[in-house]
């Protein structure tokens, strides 16, 4: 078993001065914590993997392909591999748990 606490992951992400912290990588998935502050620009590019974004906290809009929705705590958004997706109009600091399958770097 592997267990993680969001407060500890956030502290580790901050200590490493990055917007993204991958904290789990297994044969079929990887999982990370992605952080964007209010007003910040999301510069992610299309991923080679399918991605599930689970919003832990914050509020923003998210565009996937040509569809846009408002996301907040508890939102779950699936992004098929190769599809352009980004967060924008971030009005509250955003923390997103990101699940990749297959894992990043595969």
- How would you class 34 by CB atoms within 10 Å of its CB: exposed for 0-12, middle for 13-18, buried for 19 or more? buried
pLDDT(35) > 70: yes
The pTM (predicted TM-score) of the whole model is 0.94
pLDDT of res. 1: 96
Contact criterion met (CB below 8 Å) for 95 and 33: yes
pLDDT(106) > 90: no
Quote the CA–CA distance of 66 and 77 in Å, as a whole number: 14
Q: What's the rounded mean pLDDT across residues 77-96?
A: 98
Report the residue count for the chain.
Answer: 106
H/E run at residue 51:
strand 50-64
* Residues forming beta bridges with residue 50, ordered by sequence position: 101
Q: Across all residues in the chain, what is the average pLDDT?
A: 96
Q: What's the rounded mean pLDDT across residues 43-48?
A: 94
pLDDT(61) > 80: yes
Phi, psi angles (nearest 5°) of residue 11: -65, -40
């Amino acid at each position: 078993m592997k267990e993680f606490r969001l407060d500890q992951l956030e502290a580790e992400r901050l200590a490493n001065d990055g917007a993204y912290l991958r904290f789990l990588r297994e044969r079929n998935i990887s999982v990370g914590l992605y952080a964007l502050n209010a007003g910040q620009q999301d510069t992610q590019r299309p991923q080679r993997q399918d991605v599930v974004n689970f919003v832990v906290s914050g509020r923003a809009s998210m565009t996937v392909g040509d569809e846009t929705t408002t996301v907040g705590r508890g939102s779950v958004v699936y992004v098929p591999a190769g599809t352009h997706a980004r967060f924008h109009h971030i009005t509250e600091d955003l923390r997103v748990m990101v699940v990749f399958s297959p894992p990043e770097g595969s």
